[in-house]
């Protein structure tokens, strides 16, 4: 099916600026990796894909004088600024249910997000057994929306300089293609990651003083405005449990909730900039500090640090199939992100059915149809759903 896709449906007109300066890499079905490939145009690339049919296809975010040379001799000229937001790194209520990992070294296994080190043997390599789920992808999308907003409003990138993609598996990518970022080194890129993920964020350095909130408004620029927005959202909905969760004692959480509720309209109007701030008796600096810190955390964008700071990184090729799903990496306009449906737009195989034997799969949706759950059973599925289960190692083609 991958071959059929690359022969019939892969469109070579994917926009890859300065294609001849980029390095390409491919992972084969047999398990080996090919790197340092170059193509002078998209037709050459498409013909290579038709002939070799890789499991995964990648292209560098970097530009080189000689992309075919070994790494030290390539002559690095610059790189796009790339962000990956992946459900692998976002704690969701469901990843403890559908994600499992096993340590390659000692076989220790657990549920949820893959740890950095194995708790049993300190090993760092794992086999993961994850699922592509609507809740996880919705939370990845939320992080992406926050990131897009920061890149636009705080960094001033134009929408034409930013490209938005669904990865074909569990996340979203944003590529900033602009002369202003091209030659930034890893350290500069790390500063950008720290800014968007709020690492080392000192609210005091943004003029946020819990003793004096006068002038704080959602209309403020950068992190001040973001925190004000977070506070607005928090105060609008928070109940006693929420105040307790941000670190207040149960007894004061109840009284603070009462005070907040009776002063809510006033506070929200002050945060919106439409009414001067007034001190509220009974809500002290310690409470405001907790609310400010919690609000800051809510506004951060959870990006994969390693991807953005690695200036030689290979990124999945747009339009190629993701070997873990058989779904395509697709580009879509950032302005349409709210309504973007990865389970529709990324489907590569639109026709035909295949009979598979499914070992186990949770309920899932593709297009407008919902499938499963399945457990050790033979089923006829639309080819896209069958390929997804096979790629996820949950099914085999039935004999
Ligand atoms: Zn281990
Ligand atoms: Zn999930």
Give the pLDDT confidence of 150-167 residue by residue, as tens digits: 999 999 999 999 999 999
- Partnered with residue 101 across adjacent β-strands are 110, 128
End-to-end CA distance of the chain: 17
- Would the CA dihedral through 52, 57, 60, 63 be positive or negative? positive
Strand partners for 345: none
Q: Taking a C-beta distance cutoff of 8 angstroms, is the pair 54, 26 a contact?
A: yes
Contact call for residues 247 and 265 (beta carbons, < 8 A): no
> What's the pLDDT score for residue 25?
98
Rounded distance from Cα 172 to ligand 2 centre (Å): 15
Tell me the pLDDT tens digit for each residue of 191-221: 999 999 999 999 888 888 888 888 899 999 9
Mean per-residue pLDDT for 42-49?
Answer: 95
> For the chain, what percent of residues have pLDDT higher than 90?
81
Whole-number Å distance between alpha carbons of 361 and 372: 7
Which one-letter DSSP state was computed for residue 209?
A: B
* 219 and 273 Cβ atoms separated by less than 8 Å: yes
| pLDDT value at residue 113 | 85
- Residue 210: the pLDDT is 84
**pLDDT > 90? residue 273:** no
Q: Which residues surround ligand 1, an ion (CB under 5 A)?
A: 103, 105-106, 108, 118, 120-121, 123
Tell me how far the alpha carbon of residue 117 lies from the centroid of ligand 1, in angstroms: 8
pLDDT of residue 149: 96
What mean pLDDT is reported for the chain?
Answer: 93
For residue 92, the ligand closest to its alpha carbon is 2
Residue 69's nearest CA partner among 39, 93, 26, 36 is 36
pLDDT band at 95 (very low <50, low <70, confident <90, very high): confident
Q: Pick the ligand that lies closest to the CA of residue 123.
A: 1
CA of 166 to the centre of ligand 2 (A): 16
For residue 122, the CA-to-ligand 1 centroid distance in Å is 6
Distance CA 95, CA 158 (A): 35
CA–CA distance, 150 with 300 (Å, rounded to integer) = 9
Over residues 335-358, the pLDDT tens digits come to 999 999 999 999 999 999 999 999
In 3-state terms, what secondary structure has residue 167? coil
Q: Are 289 and 210 in contact (CB under 8 A)?
A: yes
24-27 and 33-37 as β-strands: parallel, antiparallel, unpaired? antiparallel
List domains and CATH numbers for the chain: 2-86+134-196+304-339 (3.90.920.10), 97-129 (no CATH), 203-299 (1.10.8), 349-397 (3.40.5)
Per-residue pLDDT for 130 more than 90? Answer: no
Which token pair is 304? 């994969």
Region 179-193: what's the mean pLDDT? 97
Proximal ligand: closest to the CA of 170: 2
Whose atoms come closest to the Cα of 107: which ligand? 1
The confidence score (pLDDT) of residue 399 equals 78
Which residues pair with residue 86 across a beta bridge?
A: 171
């Amino acid at each position: 099916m991958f071959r059929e896709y690359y022969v019939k449906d892969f469109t070579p007109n994917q926009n890859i600026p300065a294609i001849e300066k980029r390095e390409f890499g491919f992972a084969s079905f047999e398990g080996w990796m090919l790197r340092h490939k170059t193509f002078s145009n998209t037709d050459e690339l498409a013909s290579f894909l038709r002939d070799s049919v890789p499991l995964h296809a990648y292209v560098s975010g970097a530009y080189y004088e000689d992309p075919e040379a070994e790494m030290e001799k390539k002559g690095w000229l610059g790189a796009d600024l790339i962000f990956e937001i992946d459900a692998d790194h976002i704690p969701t209520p469901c990843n403890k249910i559908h994600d499992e990992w096993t340590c390659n070294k000692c076989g220790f296994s657990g549920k949820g997000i893959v740890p950095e080190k194995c708790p049993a043997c300190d090993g760092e390599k794992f086999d993961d057994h994850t699922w592509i789920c609507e809740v996880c992808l919705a939370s990845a999308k939320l992080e992406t929306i926050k990131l897009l907003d920061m890149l636009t409003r705080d960094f001033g990138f134009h929408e034409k300089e930013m490209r938005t993609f669904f990865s074909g598996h569990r996340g979203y990518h944003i590529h900033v293609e602009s002369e202003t970022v091209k030659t930034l080194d890893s350290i500069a890129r790390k500063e950008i990651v720290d800014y968007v993920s709020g690492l080392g964020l000192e609210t005091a350095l943004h003029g946020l003083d819990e003793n004096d909130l006068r002038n704080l408004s959602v209309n403020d620029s950068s992190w001040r405005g973001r925190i004000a927005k977070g506070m607005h959202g928090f105060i609008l909905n928070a109940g006693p449990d929420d105040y307790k969760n941000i670190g207040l004692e149960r007894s004061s959480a109840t009284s603070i909730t009462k005070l907040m509720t009776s002063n809510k309209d006033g506070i929200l109007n002050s945060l919106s900039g439409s009414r001067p701030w007034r001190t509220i008796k009974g809500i002290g600096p310690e409470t405001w500090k907790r609310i400010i810190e919690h609000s800051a955390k809510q506004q951060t964008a959870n990006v994969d640090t390693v991807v953005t700071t690695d200036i030689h990184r290979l990124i999945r090729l747009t339009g190629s199939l993701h070997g873990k799903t058989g779904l395509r990496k697709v580009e879509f306009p950032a302005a349409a992100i709210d309504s973007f449906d990865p389970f529709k737009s990324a489907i590569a195989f639109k026709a035909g059915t295949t009979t598979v034997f499914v070992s186990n799969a949770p309920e899932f949706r593709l297009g407008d149809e919902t499938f499963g759950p399945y457990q050790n059973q033979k089923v006829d599925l639309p080819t896209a759903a069958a390929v997804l289960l096979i790629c996820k190692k949950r099914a085999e083609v039935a004999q």
